[in-house]
């Protein structure tokens, strides 16, 4: 199985800000591209380690039969608690496990994405 078979990029859209609590709801998309020359039978994104003030609507994603060069998305909502009250530029890092399975074998790597918010 190829190591470093995936490239990640992201897209973030702020859906709402609660003026009472400062909670920010985001529509978050992790964009995955298979940069290997092999079809990836199964890709699992799991074990998300979140900062205390971040929550996700979904904790595991599974993608099957991802062909070379193919792009797929893992979409979810995230909540950043209280940020709307401070409004200062801030970045949160989220690490997770990327597991690629082929038959009965697999590889796992630690991956990371960021949530970055800044005032308008």
Range of 68's domain?
6-113
Q: Is 120 exposed, middle or buried (0-12, 13-18, 19+ CB in 10 A)?
A: exposed
Tell whether 120 is covered by a domain: no
CA separation for the pair 30, 112 (Å, rounded): 10
Domain count, the chain: 1
Tell whether 79 is covered by a domain: yes
Residues 21-70: pLDDT tens digits? Answer: 999 999 999 999 999 999 999 999 999 999 999 999 998 999 999 999 99
Tell whether 56 is covered by a domain: yes
Tell whether 21 is covered by a domain: yes
According to the model, what pLDDT value does residue 87 have? 78
Residues 86-119: pLDDT tens digits? Answer: 878 999 999 999 999 988 999 999 999 889 888 7
Confidence of residue 77 (pLDDT cuts 50, 70, 90): very high
Tell whether 85 is covered by a domain: yes
According to the model, what pLDDT value does residue 118 have? 87
According to the model, what pLDDT value does residue 4 have? 82
């Amino acid at each position: 199985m190829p190591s470093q078979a995936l490239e990640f990029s992201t897209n973030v859209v702020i859906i709402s800000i609660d003026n009472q609590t400062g909670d920010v709801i985001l529509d978050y998309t992790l964009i995955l591209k298979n940069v290997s020359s092999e079809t990836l039978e199964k890709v699992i994104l799991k074990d998300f380690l979140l900062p205390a003030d971040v929550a996700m609507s979904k904790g595991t994603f599974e993608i099957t039969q991802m062909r070379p060069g193919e792009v797929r998305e893992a979409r979810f909502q995230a909540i950043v608690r209280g940020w709307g009250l401070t409004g200062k530029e801030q970045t949160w890092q989220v690490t997770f496990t990327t597991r690629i399975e082929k038959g009965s074998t697999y590889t796992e790597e630690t991956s990371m994405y960021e949530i970055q918010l800044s005032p308008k």
